[in-house]
Amino acid sequence: MTPPERKLALKQLGPLPIYARVKAMVADKILCGEWRPNDRVPSETELVQQLGFSRMTINRALRELTAEGLLVRMQGVGTFVAEPKRQSSLLEIQNIADEILARHHQHRSDVMLLEECIADREQSAALNMSLGSTIFHSTIIHYENDVPIQIEDRYVNPAIAPEYLQQDFTLITPNIYLNRLAPLTEGEHIVEAVSASTQQSKWLRLAPHEPCLLICRRTWSKQHNVSYARLLYPGSRHRLKGHFMS
């Protein structure tokens, strides 16, 4: 569609505010399949040139479409058509690589940190260990089709996995590795809405002020605490689902 055709199409949407007409035009392209998931959307500058409206008007339309889940904005990268939100079960301890493969997508990971450290109050309580105990710590970014969707910050009981620090977690996830050593028999999830740190925002390519979903997960093998993980997801790219029966 040429710029004059776009303007005519916007006029035909009736007496809506201009930003709402821009929203409707973009949403229609997405919902009809002309713009598909992961397609890059024209930038604010490009839309200003194409449609002839102010940058403030275009910005509001894109911000609202992002809040409604139709678009994903990655700082320094661009704006893209959102995929349907990735979904995890709230009631199961699932391996993120398996979740991604089940969606017929590609998984990869970057190991940002792999170290021995001293447990603080939160970590020692979560692992049922004495304050100041030596524990293992890993920080891993998980990607789906090269889009970062989770920061996994995990603390591990060395008695369960004494060779944890020697593993290549780009080839196997900590979840799979630990489950092979000590099959999980119990888990606990605590879910919070949080703001990301500056570093986390950079790793997840978050838009400014984008909220995140944090899952604090503790796991056990029989009576032994195995690990304590803090799993951070971009709120615009993930949701949880739980199914209950009485």
Q: What is the pLDDT of residues 81-108, one digit of tens each?
A: 887 655 444 445 678 888 888 888 899 9
Please report, for the chain, the start and end positions of each structural domain, with discontinuous segments joined by +: 3-81, 86-241
Determine the topology of domain 86-241 in CATH: Chorismate lyase (3.40.1410)
Question: What is the DSSP secondary structure assignment for residue 237, as one 8-state letter?
Answer: G
User: Six-digit token pair at 10?
Assistant: 């916007």
Q: What average pLDDT does the segment 140-165 reach?
A: 95
pLDDT tens, 169-185?
999 999 999 988 988 88
Q: How far apart are CA 151 and CA 121, in angstroms?
A: 22
Q: What is the pTM of this model?
A: 0.64
Phi, psi of 112 (to 5 degrees): -95, -25
Question: Domain 3-81 maps to which CATH number in 3.40.50.1010, 1.10.10.10, 1.10.10.410, 3.30.565.10?
Answer: 1.10.10.10
Instruction: Give the Cα-Cα-Cα angle 236, 240, 242 (nearest 5 degrees).
Output: 160
Alpha helix (H) residue ranges in the chain = 3-11, 18-31, 44-51, 55-67, 96-102, 121-127, 174-181, 198-204
* Position 11 pLDDT exceeds 60: no
* Position 31 pLDDT exceeds 50: yes
Q: How far apart are CA 25 and CA 116, in angstroms?
A: 53
Q: How far apart are CA 72 and CA 39, in angstroms?
A: 10
Q: How far apart are CA 215 and CA 74, in angstroms?
A: 22
* Position 210 pLDDT exceeds 80: yes
